[in-house]
Chains A and B, each alone.
Chain A
Amino acid sequence: MPVIALELPRLQKLVGITNRKKIVEMLPFLGLDIESQENDVVRVEYSPNRPDFSTDFGITLSLLGILGKKKGIPKLKIKKVSDYQITVDSSVSKVRPFVTGIVARYGKIDEKVLQQVIIMQEDLHFGIGRRRKKSSIGIHDLDTISFPFTYTTTSRNHKFIPLHSSEENSISEILQNTEVGQEYGHILGNSTKVPIIIDSMGKTVSFPPIINSSMTTVTTKTKNLFVEVTGTDKNGVEDMLAVVATILQSAGFELCTVKISGAKNSTPQFKKRQIILSQNLVNTMLGLSLSPRKIVSALKKSRLDATTKNKNIICTVPRYRFDIFGPMDLVEEVVLGYGIENLESTSSPSQTLGQKNHDNNILNDLSQTMVGLGYMEALNSSLTGKRILYDLTNRDSSNIIYVKNSKSQEHTILRDSILPELVNNLSNNIHELYPQKLFEIGTVFLKGNPIKEEFHLACVSAHNYANFSEIKSILQSTLKTGFNIECKTKTSSYPTFAEGSTAEIVVNGKSYGFIGKIDSSVKENFKIRVPIVGFEVKLSGLIFD
């Protein structure tokens, strides 16, 4: 989940209340989790479906709502002017078919505002932009460029000075040499033509979705902005633009239309949607008996518009709230507007009788049996490492099951055996008093169609007098006491166990695992001095189907 650092003095000013404690207390009721608070800064985690919460301007809009200071949709006021136009060339349809944009004028961009805008842009790129693939934004200093623009394609030899650079670079060079080029270049595939926005003087404004031109860099001296969004989905680009427009208006900018035409593109409308919500749905889901009027009031506190129509509520949703899909999303908006703190829990008796899972019960009984035999229960991760599972225990690693890109080096493969983990546990306990007797019951993974999961029981006994007879007796006693199963041990070999002290566990002529004395080379690998005996038995097929 993304995190934003909120500066309380700024937020106090934006919300217009001085009671800092109250603001902080209200934040969780917007679904913002407070991660930490230090002096003036509160770090909150917000839902990825609410990109408007990536700035304090957006959070303010919602705070004003639940505080009851401002209700209903924060209306977008967009001045209709004809100064700004973008023509779309049909060649973009194969690479990045859609563009949209807006102009924001007469704003004040200080360091803080600039910072907020950059954070918002990053968040939009990552979340709804799907790492720029679906949609991406460029924000430009309006006064450095001259309309009308063309959104078209160009060859990879096209040159311009990219952002944070002072020299001209070709598209190919940018893709190869810059960090953003390397990270996002793949979005353009290997098409020879790439998307480009050119102003009326033929100057490059932006090379979406990679980088802006250096010429249009926004600084604290910038007063007027041009924002463009390009992408693969017409609705998607306008959704993103709606968030930016709403935030910039809240930041004090005056919005103006950008006229867009050509190749299935059109001027953004920021159309609101209407969703009909029934009073019944709200009340049956929440267990309340709210009147339609109360529901309308709650929705307005969630910054939506609503009117009643008989027992239904007609709710209007602004464009930037594309996280709302249907009536159930509005039920949540009602809860937020109503206040979760006002929702009292009820307790109603269960209509059903509960029951534990039979297999789980059996595994638990087996645990109790092992404990009765003096064995301590261990728990290990089933995602483990090659070193313990195969290398140190001399086991054959030809059927490894890997997970992709693990962030933890010790957890890269799925275990096909529990015993190596138990030996490793003994190794970590060499300073504790002996005897040490451990067991674990758990899932192991085997290659299959697509993958096989089995329950195994493994146990080890380590002390100065540990010997084969002892562990064989434990094995037979476990299976006999637990399941009335008689098992035999047949001379065999297994790489973890010592030659001559190894046997297969055989029940009714079928093999279910191995038992033996841990080989001295394995003990040496784990730096253990005392003798160890152990076994691992497959339970699936033996006591389960």
Chain B
Amino acid sequence: MSKVFHEIEKKIILLLDENPKLTPKKIGTSTGLTPDQIRRGIEWLKFKKLVIVEESQQVYLRLGKNGLGANSKGLPERQLMDLLKEKPRKLNELKQELKSIFSPAMGIARKNNWIETDGENISLKNPPSDILEEKIISKIGKNKILVSEIEDKKTLEFLKKRPNFIIEEIEKSQIISLSEKGKSISETVKISEDVVVKAIDVEADVPKTFVAKTHPLKDIINEIREIFVTLGFTEILGKLAQPCFWNFDALFTPQDHPARELQDTFYLDGVNSKKIATPKQIQQVAKVHKNSWRYLWSINKARQMVLRTHTTCDTIKFLADHKPDEARVFSLGRVFRNEKVSYKHLVEFNQVEGIVVGKNTTLRDLMGIQREFFHRMGLNKIKFWPTYFPYTEPSLQSMVYNERLDKWVELFGMGIFRPEVTKPLGITKPVLAWGGGIERIAMLKYGLDDVREFYSNNLKWLRSVTKCQ
């Protein structure tokens, strides 16, 4: 336990050491602390088990209306007897003189045999020198006193029965005293008073500070960028809105293919691109579509603007514009799918795609690059399965084993760009492409089961995520 005490605590402990049982009010009068300081001080000390707080009830007495009257003018029976001191009086006379107190005064005086009557006149008989009630009334006076201060309980009971003489008030209060532990510590406090001048309680709880941070998903994105770069890839940036030409046509997806339909792709309403590619690129792509898919290729369909469905449109455009013999390039960014939003699907998510161009690059190399990538992401159990993409052949997908979910999770796709994709754009060397969604990897890393969490900006989650993973 901390041996350091707050000034307030010290004052209270030292006071209680001298006066074992005190109410908070008494502590206030003796120490000059405010009620609020005392309340806090007692709470702290109670928490540290240094004081004992007893809840107690105190009964106070004060005078009522008739009591106050008796205090200033005397009790009704005293007033009566004072009148009779000089001479006996007539009943009616007394009635007029004493008014409302006449009846109680007569009653009590008669009962106690202090007066006598001969039918017409009333005179003193055995008047007392002291009336016990008078002592109590004068003791209370205009104050409020504890009931314990009155010793003559019998008379108090009589007085309480008389209307409006005595008012009882019950006040709840605390009685504070030092616990055994508190008594033993008071010596230390006395000493520390002299030794430790400005110490604070370093062990106490403190308010939380929330750290501002970059978004957890952005951290993964940057980690992935870093890995791509160290694997020899150079980053390119592309636009999010693209003409169909680069998103579909250049990638050998026929214009009447169901994948291009509205239910999978976000078309921008009424937005078309005038300049989509060079005339030669357009002509060659149109030709391969006509020859391979046997339909009438339309340039207007290629001009329609869509929100890119993959980042492959950036890599293919880069290849078409630069025609490198040797290259490693990657593109990372938002892509869009017209899907119902659910715990596993978003309309907008991040995708990374890398391509490798080189005359000696093989599918096995691409598998090796992917293994290395996943290894660096901390994912080591990997296998490959065949799959289908319209623009690669052969096409594989990488499956990663997740221990928490106890199953294989499909992560990235990969393949060699079809000659129907590369040849029309003048790309002569084989192009290997690989990539996939980033949120899926991020979900594994952060242990999330609902992909929407990444975009809900829920401060509770953002503030709680471990930064340095």
- A interface residues with partner B (beta carbon < 8 Å): 28-31, 33, 47-50, 126-127, 130-131, 133-134, 233, 235-236, 284-288, 325-326, 328-329, 331-332, 335-336, 340-341, 343-348, 350-357, 359-360, 364, 367-368, 370-383, 401-408, 410-411, 414, 425, 428-429, 432-433, 436-438, 443, 445, 449-451, 453
Query: In whole Å, how far is A466's beta carbon from the nearest beta carbon of chain B?
Result: 16
Known pairs A31-B387, A371-B212. 16 more at Cβ < 8 A? A33-B410, A285-B394, A287-B364, A288-B364, A328-B393, A328-B418, A335-B386, A336-B386, A340-B386, A350-B328, A351-B328, A377-B214, A379-B215, A407-B347, A445-B240, A445-B241
Interface string of B328-351 (1 = CB under 8 A from A): 100000101011110000111000
**A233 surroundings in chain B (CB, below 8 A):** 294-295
Tell whether, in the assembled complex, residue A343 and residue B258 are in contact, meaning their CB atoms are under 8 Å apart: no
Tell whether, in the assembled complex, residue A325 and residue B292 are in contact, meaning their CB atoms are under 8 Å apart: yes
Tell whether, in the assembled complex, residue A355 and residue B347 are in contact, meaning their CB atoms are under 8 Å apart: no
Partner of B458, one of A367, A414, A428: A428
Chain A CB within 8 A of B246 CB: no
Query: In whole Å, how far is B132's beta carbon from the nearest beta carbon of chain A?
Result: 64
**A50 surroundings in chain B (CB, below 8 A):** 388
Tell whether, in the assembled complex, residue B383 and residue A341 are in contact, meaning their CB atoms are under 8 Å apart: yes
Given A340-B385, A351-B232, decide whether A371 and B214 contact each other with a Cβ distance below 8 A: yes
Q: Which of B233, B241, B305 has the most CB of A within 10 A?
A: B241
Query: In whole Å, how far is B351's beta carbon from the nearest beta carbon of chain A?
Result: 14
Tell me the bound Cα distance from A403 to B243 in angstroms.
14
Tell whether, in the assembled complex, residue B363 and residue A378 are in contact, meaning their CB atoms are under 8 Å apart: no
Tell whether, in the assembled complex, residue B234 and residue A352 are in contact, meaning their CB atoms are under 8 Å apart: yes
**B365 surroundings in chain A (CB, below 8 A):** 287, 345-348
Tell whether, in the assembled complex, residue A347 and residue B386 are in contact, meaning their CB atoms are under 8 Å apart: no
**B340 surroundings in chain A (CB, below 8 A):** 407-408
Stretch at the interface among B167-175, B183-191, B267-275: B267-275
The main secondary structure of chain A at its interface with chain B is loop
Partner of A381, one of B346, B410, B416: B346
Partner of A443, one of B240, B339, B346, B360: B240
Tell me the bound Cα distance from A235 to B267 in angstroms.
31
**B395 surroundings in chain A (CB, below 8 A):** 332
Partner of B363, one of A285, A341, A383: A285
Given A354-B233, A408-B341, decide whether A134 and B269 contact each other with a Cβ distance below 8 A: no
Tell me the bound Cα distance from A134 to B257 in angstroms.
11
Tell whether, in the assembled complex, residue A325 and residue B258 are in contact, meaning their CB atoms are under 8 Å apart: no
Chain A CB within 8 A of B199 CB: no
Query: In whole Å, how far is B435's beta carbon from the nearest beta carbon of chain A?
Result: 15
Tell whether, in the assembled complex, residue B416 and residue A383 are in contact, meaning their CB atoms are under 8 Å apart: no
**B274 surroundings in chain A (CB, below 8 A):** 449-450
Given A285-B416, A286-B362, A341-B383, decide whether A450 and B305 contact each other with a Cβ distance below 8 A: yes
**B341 surroundings in chain A (CB, below 8 A):** 408, 410-411
| Total residues of chain B contacting the partner, CB 8 A | 94
Tell whether, in the assembled complex, residue A354 and residue B387 are in contact, meaning their CB atoms are under 8 Å apart: no
Chain A CB within 8 A of B154 CB: no
Tell whether, in the assembled complex, residue B266 and residue A429 are in contact, meaning their CB atoms are under 8 Å apart: no
**B338 surroundings in chain A (CB, below 8 A):** 403, 405-407
Tell whether, in the assembled complex, residue A351 and residue B368 are in contact, meaning their CB atoms are under 8 Å apart: no
Given A344-B364, A376-B459, decide whether A354 and B258 contact each other with a Cβ distance below 8 A: no
**Which residue of chain A has its CB nearest to the CB of B393?**
A328
8 A-B residue contacts at CB 8 Å? Answer: A49-B388, A127-B258, A331-B416, A404-B262, A404-B269, A410-B341, A411-B341, A433-B208
Tell me the bound Cα distance from A382 to B262 in angstroms.
19
Given A133-B256, A407-B339, decide whether A382 and B240 contact each other with a Cβ distance below 8 A: yes
**B237 surroundings in chain A (CB, below 8 A):** 357, 359-360
Query: In whole Å, how far is A341's beta carbon from the nearest beta carbon of chain B?
Result: 7
Chain A CB within 8 A of B411 CB: no
Tell me the bound Cα distance from A127 to B390 in angstroms.
13
Given A31-B388, A354-B234, decide whether A425 and B241 contact each other with a Cβ distance below 8 A: no
Tell me the bound Cα distance from A372 to B211 in angstroms.
10
Tell me the bound Cα distance from A371 to B214 in angstroms.
7
Within B294-309, which residues are at the interface with A (CB < 8 Å)? 294-295, 305, 307
Partner of B364, one of A343, A352, A377: A343
**A364 surroundings in chain B (CB, below 8 A):** 222
Chain A CB within 8 A of B396 CB: yes
Query: In whole Å, how far is B138's beta carbon from the nearest beta carbon of chain A?
Result: 58
Q: Which of B259, B272, B341, B454 has the most CB of A within 10 A?
A: B341
Given A383-B348, A451-B271, A451-B305, decide whether A328 and B419 contact each other with a Cβ distance below 8 A: yes
Chain A CB within 8 A of B460 CB: yes
Interface string of B215-240 (1 = CB under 8 A from A): 10110001001001111111111011
Query: In whole Å, how far is B187's beta carbon from the nearest beta carbon of chain A?
Result: 42
Query: In whole Å, how far is B337's beta carbon from the nearest beta carbon of chain A?
Result: 9
Tell me the bound Cα distance from A451 to B362 in angstroms.
39
